Amino acid sequence: MIRGYRVVTNPERMGRGFTAYVMVGLSSHTKAAQEGFERAMAVAPEVVECHNIAGAFEYLLRVESADLSEYKRFHTEVLGTQSHVNAITSYIVMGSSKDERAT
């Protein structure tokens, strides 16, 4: 029943005050393409959530970084180097009036 315990940290004090939700589309919908993408996201420290979803895109990511320039680096050097990624749409979080993930 209990899957674990969490420590609630302050993102700004941890150097992760910038959050973006990122929709990712793949050009290939094979199992190998999905597994490769998921492996790459598993080792990317900026990716704190990676969800395989139904709809116009294959993945929804929650990405945390220090600031916009660090997010741009992740966008270019991590997402931009994945061979099957063909669409990236970023939604920048400007504020959060409700967030109950770790309460």
Cα dihedral value 36, 82, 89, 34, nearest 10: -20
Reported as a pLDDT band with limits 50, 70 and 90, residue 3 is confident
- Which CATH entry fits the domain spanning 18-92: 3.30.70.920, 3.40.50.1820, 3.40.50.1220, 3.30.499.10? 3.30.70.920
Instruction: Name which residue leads in pLDDT, 103 or 89.
Output: 89
CA separation (Å) from 23 to 19, 49, 50, 59? Answer: 13, 12, 10, 6
Q: What is the pLDDT of residues 25-45, one digit of tens each?
A: 999 999 999 999 999 999 999
Reported as a pLDDT band with limits 50, 70 and 90, residue 102 is low
For the question of whether the overall pTM of this predicted structure is more than 0.85, the answer is yes
Instruction: Name which residue leads in pLDDT, 15 or 78.
Output: 78
